[in-house]
Protein backbone atom coordinates (compact mmCIF):
# COMPACT_ATOMS: atom_id res chain seq x y z
CA UNK A 1 0.00 0.00 0.00
CA UNK A 2 1.08 3.57 -0.64
CA UNK A 3 2.36 5.77 2.14
CA UNK A 4 0.05 8.64 2.93
CA UNK A 5 1.22 12.04 4.19
CA UNK A 6 -1.09 14.12 6.32
CA UNK A 7 -0.22 17.61 7.46
CA UNK A 8 -1.85 20.13 9.74
CA UNK A 9 -1.01 23.61 10.96
CA UNK A 10 -1.63 23.59 14.71
CA UNK A 11 -4.49 25.84 15.75
CA UNK A 12 -4.68 27.61 19.13
CA UNK A 13 -7.15 24.99 20.36
CA UNK A 14 -4.80 22.14 19.33
CA UNK A 15 -1.72 23.53 21.09
CA UNK A 16 -0.32 21.05 23.62
CA UNK A 17 0.91 17.47 23.28
CA UNK A 18 1.80 16.46 19.73
CA UNK A 19 0.34 12.96 20.07
CA UNK A 20 -3.13 14.46 20.40
CA UNK A 21 -2.63 16.30 17.12
CA UNK A 22 -1.40 13.11 15.45
CA UNK A 23 -4.41 11.22 16.78
CA UNK A 24 -6.76 13.76 15.22
CA UNK A 25 -4.95 13.24 11.89
CA UNK A 26 -4.96 9.44 11.94
CA UNK A 27 -7.84 8.30 14.19
CA UNK A 28 -5.52 5.66 15.65
CA UNK A 29 -5.63 4.39 19.23
CA UNK A 30 -3.08 5.80 21.69
CA UNK A 31 -1.29 2.42 21.77
CA UNK A 32 -0.84 2.41 17.98
CA UNK A 33 0.19 6.07 17.99
CA UNK A 34 3.35 5.24 19.96
CA UNK A 35 4.52 3.04 17.07
CA UNK A 36 4.30 5.93 14.59
CA UNK A 37 6.67 7.97 16.72
CA UNK A 38 9.03 5.00 17.22
CA UNK A 39 9.26 4.39 13.46
CA UNK A 40 10.00 8.01 12.50
CA UNK A 41 6.64 8.73 10.92
CA UNK A 42 6.04 12.04 12.72
CA UNK A 43 7.73 15.37 12.05
CA UNK A 44 7.23 18.78 13.64
CA UNK A 45 8.28 21.76 11.52
CA UNK A 46 10.24 19.35 9.31
CA UNK A 47 12.23 17.73 12.14
CA UNK A 48 11.77 14.11 13.32
CA UNK A 49 9.70 13.90 16.51
CA UNK A 50 10.30 10.70 18.54
CA UNK A 51 8.48 11.70 21.72
CA UNK A 52 4.71 11.59 22.11
CA UNK A 53 4.77 14.21 24.88
CA UNK A 54 6.50 16.88 22.77
CA UNK A 55 4.68 20.20 23.10
CA UNK A 56 3.52 22.05 19.97
CA UNK A 57 2.30 25.62 19.68
CA UNK A 58 -0.17 27.37 17.44
CA UNK A 59 1.40 27.76 13.99
CA UNK A 60 3.62 24.66 14.19
CA UNK A 61 3.36 22.20 11.31
CA UNK A 62 2.78 18.55 12.19
CA UNK A 63 3.27 15.98 9.43
CA UNK A 64 2.56 12.24 9.57
CA UNK A 65 3.77 9.89 6.81
CA UNK A 66 2.56 6.32 7.20
CA UNK A 67 0.74 3.41 5.57
CA UNK A 68 -2.72 3.17 7.21
CA UNK A 69 -2.80 -0.56 6.39
CA UNK A 70 0.58 -1.39 7.92
CA UNK A 71 1.25 -2.09 11.57
CA UNK A 72 3.82 0.04 13.38
CA UNK A 73 4.58 -1.91 16.57
CA UNK A 74 5.80 0.02 19.59
CA UNK A 75 9.50 -0.56 20.24
CA UNK A 76 10.55 -2.11 23.53
CA UNK A 77 11.88 0.48 25.95
CA UNK A 78 14.70 0.17 28.47
CA UNK A 79 13.37 -0.36 31.97
CA UNK A 80 13.37 2.61 34.31
CA UNK A 81 12.13 2.40 37.87
CA UNK A 82 12.43 4.69 40.89
CA UNK A 83 12.34 1.74 43.32
CA UNK A 84 15.45 -0.11 42.11
CA UNK A 85 18.27 -0.44 39.60
CA UNK A 86 19.76 -3.69 38.34
CA UNK A 87 23.18 -4.64 39.77
CA UNK A 88 23.51 -8.13 38.29
CA UNK A 89 21.29 -10.43 36.28
CA UNK A 90 21.49 -13.79 34.59
CA UNK A 91 18.83 -16.35 33.70
CA UNK A 92 18.65 -17.64 37.28
CA UNK A 93 18.93 -14.67 39.61
CA UNK A 94 18.60 -10.92 39.84
CA UNK A 95 20.42 -8.57 42.21
CA UNK A 96 19.11 -5.03 42.59
CA UNK A 97 19.93 -1.80 44.38
CA UNK A 98 16.81 -1.09 46.43
CA UNK A 99 15.75 2.51 46.96
CA UNK A 100 15.38 3.50 50.61
CA UNK A 101 11.79 4.66 50.14
CA UNK A 102 10.26 1.29 49.30
CA UNK A 103 9.22 -1.83 51.24
CA UNK A 104 10.79 -5.11 50.16
CA UNK A 105 7.58 -7.14 50.35
CA UNK A 106 3.99 -6.40 51.28
CA UNK A 107 3.00 -6.12 54.94
CA UNK A 108 -0.35 -6.45 56.66
CA UNK A 109 -1.03 -2.80 55.81
CA UNK A 110 -1.21 -3.84 52.17
CA UNK A 111 1.14 -1.24 50.67
CA UNK A 112 0.58 -1.63 46.88
CA UNK A 113 4.05 -0.40 45.87
CA UNK A 114 6.64 -2.94 46.99
CA UNK A 115 10.03 -3.80 45.60
CA UNK A 116 8.96 -7.41 45.03
CA UNK A 117 6.03 -6.25 42.90
CA UNK A 118 8.16 -3.87 40.85
CA UNK A 119 10.89 -6.47 40.33
CA UNK A 120 8.28 -9.01 39.23
CA UNK A 121 6.95 -6.52 36.68
CA UNK A 122 10.48 -5.88 35.41
CA UNK A 123 11.16 -9.61 34.98
CA UNK A 124 7.91 -10.05 33.05
CA UNK A 125 8.89 -7.11 30.86
CA UNK A 126 12.44 -8.31 30.18
CA UNK A 127 12.13 -12.08 29.98
CA UNK A 128 8.45 -13.03 30.12
CA UNK A 129 8.84 -14.90 33.42
CA UNK A 130 5.87 -14.62 35.75
CA UNK A 131 7.41 -14.83 39.21
CA UNK A 132 10.43 -13.82 41.26
CA UNK A 133 11.38 -15.09 44.69
CA UNK A 134 12.78 -12.75 47.35
CA UNK A 135 15.71 -14.35 49.17
CA UNK A 136 15.94 -11.80 52.02
CA UNK A 137 14.75 -8.34 53.02
CA UNK A 138 15.89 -4.82 53.82
CA UNK A 139 14.00 -2.40 56.05
CA UNK A 140 12.15 0.49 54.52
CA UNK A 141 14.50 3.43 54.97
CA UNK A 142 17.56 1.28 54.14
CA UNK A 143 18.95 1.06 50.61
CA UNK A 144 21.20 -1.41 48.84
CA UNK A 145 21.64 -4.95 47.61
CA UNK A 146 18.83 -7.46 47.48
CA UNK A 147 18.86 -10.80 45.68
CA UNK A 148 15.93 -12.51 43.96
CA UNK A 149 15.60 -15.91 42.35
CA UNK A 150 14.04 -16.03 38.90
CA UNK A 151 12.81 -19.61 39.20
CA UNK A 152 11.43 -21.72 42.06
CA UNK A 153 14.66 -23.76 42.14
CA UNK A 154 16.90 -20.69 42.32
CA UNK A 155 14.59 -19.04 44.83
CA UNK A 156 14.66 -22.05 47.19
CA UNK A 157 18.46 -22.26 47.00
CA UNK A 158 18.93 -18.56 47.75
CA UNK A 159 16.35 -18.55 50.54
CA UNK A 160 18.07 -21.53 52.17
CA UNK A 161 21.43 -19.75 52.07
CA UNK A 162 20.10 -16.62 53.73
CA UNK A 163 18.08 -18.61 56.27
CA UNK A 164 21.31 -20.38 57.29
CA UNK A 165 23.22 -17.05 57.43
CA UNK A 166 25.73 -18.32 54.85
CA UNK A 167 26.08 -15.19 52.64
CA UNK A 168 28.68 -12.60 53.61
CA UNK A 169 26.56 -9.44 53.96
CA UNK A 170 28.22 -6.02 54.34
CA UNK A 171 26.65 -2.66 55.20
CA UNK A 172 27.97 0.90 55.30
CA UNK A 173 26.35 3.29 57.74
CA UNK A 174 26.79 6.67 59.44
CA UNK A 175 26.19 6.67 63.20
CA UNK A 176 26.04 9.41 65.78
CA UNK A 177 29.04 9.99 68.05
CA UNK A 178 32.53 8.55 68.10
CA UNK A 179 32.62 4.76 68.17
CA UNK A 180 35.44 3.99 70.57
CA UNK A 181 37.07 0.89 69.05
CA UNK A 182 38.33 0.68 65.48
CA UNK A 183 36.66 -2.72 65.19
CA UNK A 184 34.41 -4.79 67.37
CA UNK A 185 31.53 -7.24 67.74
CA UNK A 186 28.00 -6.86 69.08
CA UNK A 187 26.63 -10.03 70.63
CA UNK A 188 23.18 -9.73 72.15
CA UNK A 189 19.70 -11.23 72.10
CA UNK A 190 16.90 -9.46 70.28
CA UNK A 191 13.24 -9.61 71.19
CA UNK A 192 10.14 -7.81 69.92
CA UNK A 193 7.86 -5.78 72.17
CA UNK A 194 4.11 -5.37 71.94
CA UNK A 195 4.63 -2.19 69.91
CA UNK A 196 6.58 -4.31 67.36
CA UNK A 197 9.82 -2.51 68.19
CA UNK A 198 12.88 -4.72 68.59
CA UNK A 199 15.00 -4.38 71.71
CA UNK A 200 18.32 -5.85 72.86
CA UNK A 201 18.78 -8.02 75.90
CA UNK A 202 21.62 -10.13 77.26
CA UNK A 203 19.23 -12.87 78.36
CA UNK A 204 19.33 -15.80 75.95
CA UNK A 205 16.03 -16.99 77.44
CA UNK A 206 14.29 -13.85 76.17
CA UNK A 207 15.38 -13.32 72.58
CA UNK A 208 17.23 -14.60 69.52
CA UNK A 209 21.01 -14.47 69.32
CA UNK A 210 22.23 -11.59 67.13
CA UNK A 211 25.89 -11.15 66.19
CA UNK A 212 27.29 -8.25 64.16
CA UNK A 213 30.89 -7.27 63.45
CA UNK A 214 31.98 -3.75 62.58
CA UNK A 215 34.99 -1.73 61.51
CA UNK A 216 35.39 2.05 61.45
CA UNK A 217 35.76 3.45 57.94
CA UNK A 218 35.92 7.18 58.70
CA UNK A 219 35.66 9.57 61.62
CA UNK A 220 34.12 13.03 61.56
CA UNK A 221 33.67 15.53 64.40
CA UNK A 222 30.66 13.87 65.99
CA UNK A 223 29.93 11.06 63.54
CA UNK A 224 31.45 7.69 62.65
CA UNK A 225 31.23 5.84 59.35
CA UNK A 226 31.16 2.09 59.97
CA UNK A 227 31.23 -1.04 57.85
CA UNK A 228 29.18 -3.81 59.44
CA UNK A 229 29.08 -7.53 58.70
CA UNK A 230 26.13 -9.68 59.70
CA UNK A 231 26.89 -13.03 61.27
CA UNK A 232 23.17 -13.44 61.95
CA UNK A 233 20.33 -11.54 60.28
CA UNK A 234 17.60 -10.62 62.73
CA UNK A 235 14.93 -8.01 62.14
CA UNK A 236 16.38 -4.48 62.62
CA UNK A 237 19.56 -6.08 63.97
CA UNK A 238 22.14 -3.39 63.14
CA UNK A 239 19.79 -0.53 63.97
CA UNK A 240 19.03 -1.91 67.43
CA UNK A 241 22.57 -2.92 68.34
CA UNK A 242 24.22 0.35 67.34
CA UNK A 243 21.47 2.37 69.06
CA UNK A 244 21.82 0.22 72.18
CA UNK A 245 25.54 1.07 72.17
CA UNK A 246 24.70 4.78 72.07
CA UNK A 247 25.42 5.25 68.35
CA UNK A 248 22.15 5.28 66.37
CA UNK A 249 22.20 5.61 62.61
CA UNK A 250 21.36 9.05 61.28
CA UNK A 251 17.75 9.31 60.20
CA UNK A 252 16.50 6.49 62.45
CA UNK A 253 14.21 8.10 65.05
CA UNK A 254 12.54 4.76 65.77
CA UNK A 255 15.62 3.51 67.61
CA UNK A 256 17.69 6.66 67.99
CA UNK A 257 15.12 9.30 68.90
CA UNK A 258 16.50 12.83 68.87
CA UNK A 259 20.06 11.50 68.78
CA UNK A 260 19.49 10.29 65.21
CA UNK A 261 19.09 13.88 64.04
CA UNK A 262 22.05 15.82 62.66
CA UNK A 263 22.41 19.15 60.92
CA UNK A 264 24.16 17.49 57.95
CA UNK A 265 21.42 14.88 57.41
CA UNK A 266 18.01 16.05 56.20
CA UNK A 267 17.06 12.93 54.26
CA UNK A 268 13.87 11.01 55.01
CA UNK A 269 15.79 7.75 55.17
CA UNK A 270 18.25 5.91 57.37
CA UNK A 271 21.98 6.37 56.75
CA UNK A 272 22.48 2.65 56.22
CA UNK A 273 23.21 0.90 52.93
CA UNK A 274 23.66 -2.78 52.02
CA UNK A 275 26.90 -2.42 50.09
CA UNK A 276 28.02 -5.98 49.27
CA UNK A 277 26.98 -9.62 49.48
CA UNK A 278 28.74 -12.85 48.59
CA UNK A 279 26.49 -15.80 47.78
CA UNK A 280 26.77 -19.22 46.23
CA UNK A 281 25.25 -19.15 42.77
CA UNK A 282 22.03 -21.17 43.08
CA UNK A 283 22.71 -23.22 39.94
CA UNK A 284 26.49 -23.30 39.33
CA UNK A 285 27.49 -23.32 42.99
CA UNK A 286 30.28 -20.80 42.38
CA UNK A 287 30.94 -17.95 44.79
CA UNK A 288 29.45 -14.71 43.48
CA UNK A 289 30.36 -11.38 45.07
CA UNK A 290 28.05 -8.48 44.32
CA UNK A 291 28.75 -4.85 45.19
CA UNK A 292 26.49 -1.83 45.23
CA UNK A 293 27.76 1.79 45.20
CA UNK A 294 26.85 4.12 48.03
CA UNK A 295 24.06 6.64 47.43
CA UNK A 296 25.21 10.23 46.99
CA UNK A 297 23.65 11.22 50.30
CA UNK A 298 26.11 8.95 52.14
CA UNK A 299 29.15 9.09 49.89
CA UNK A 300 30.31 12.47 51.17
CA UNK A 301 30.72 11.07 54.70
CA UNK A 302 33.03 8.33 53.48
CA UNK A 303 35.34 10.42 51.29
CA UNK A 304 35.50 13.56 53.43
Mark whether 61 and 92 lie in a shared domain. Answer: no
Q: What is the chain's mean pLDDT, rounded?
A: 92
C-alpha to C-alpha distance for 111 and 103, rounded to whole angstroms: 8
Amino acid 128: pLDDT: 67
What is the chain's pLDDT, residue by residue, as a tens digit (304 residues)? 688 999 999 999 999 999 999 999 998 888 788 899 999 999 999 999 999 999 999 999 999 999 988 888 887 766 677 899 999 999 999 999 999 999 998 765 556 679 998 899 888 877 766 688 999 999 999 999 999 999 999 999 999 999 999 999 999 999 999 999 999 999 999 998 878 889 888 877 888 999 999 999 999 999 999 999 999 999 999 999 999 999 999 999 999 999 999 999 999 999 999 999 999 999 999 999 999 999 999 999 987 5
C-alpha to C-alpha distance for 265 and 301, rounded to whole angstroms: 10
Mark whether 112 and 141 lie in a shared domain. Answer: yes
State pLDDT tens for residues 107-138.
Answer: 655 566 799 988 998 888 777 666 889 999 99
Task: Please state the pTM of the whole predicted model.
Answer: 0.76
Structural domain contains residue 226: yes
User: For residue 11, what are the contacts with CB-CB under 8 A and spacing of at least 6?
Assistant: 58
CATH of the domain at 167: 3.30.2350.10
Mark whether 88 and 186 lie in a shared domain. Answer: yes
Amino acid 110: pLDDT: 55
CATH of the domain at 28: 3.10.290.10
Structural domains in the chain (count): 2
Mark whether 18 and 157 lie in a shared domain. Answer: no
Structural domain contains residue 75: no
Amino acid 108: pLDDT: 58
Structural domain boundaries enclosing 30? 4-66
C-alpha to C-alpha distance for 193 and 54, rounded to whole angstroms: 54
State pLDDT tens for residues 197-236.
Answer: 898 888 778 889 999 999 999 999 999 999 999 999 999 9
Structural domain contains residue 71: no
Amino acid sequence: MAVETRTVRVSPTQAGRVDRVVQSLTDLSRRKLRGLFDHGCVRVNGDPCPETATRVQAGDEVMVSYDPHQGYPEKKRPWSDRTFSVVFEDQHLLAVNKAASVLTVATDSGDPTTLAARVAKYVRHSSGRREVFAAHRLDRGVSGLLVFGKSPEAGRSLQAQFHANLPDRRFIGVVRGQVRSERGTFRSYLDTGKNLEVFATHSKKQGQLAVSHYEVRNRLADLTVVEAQLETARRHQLRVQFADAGHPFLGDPRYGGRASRHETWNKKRIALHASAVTIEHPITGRALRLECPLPKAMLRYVVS
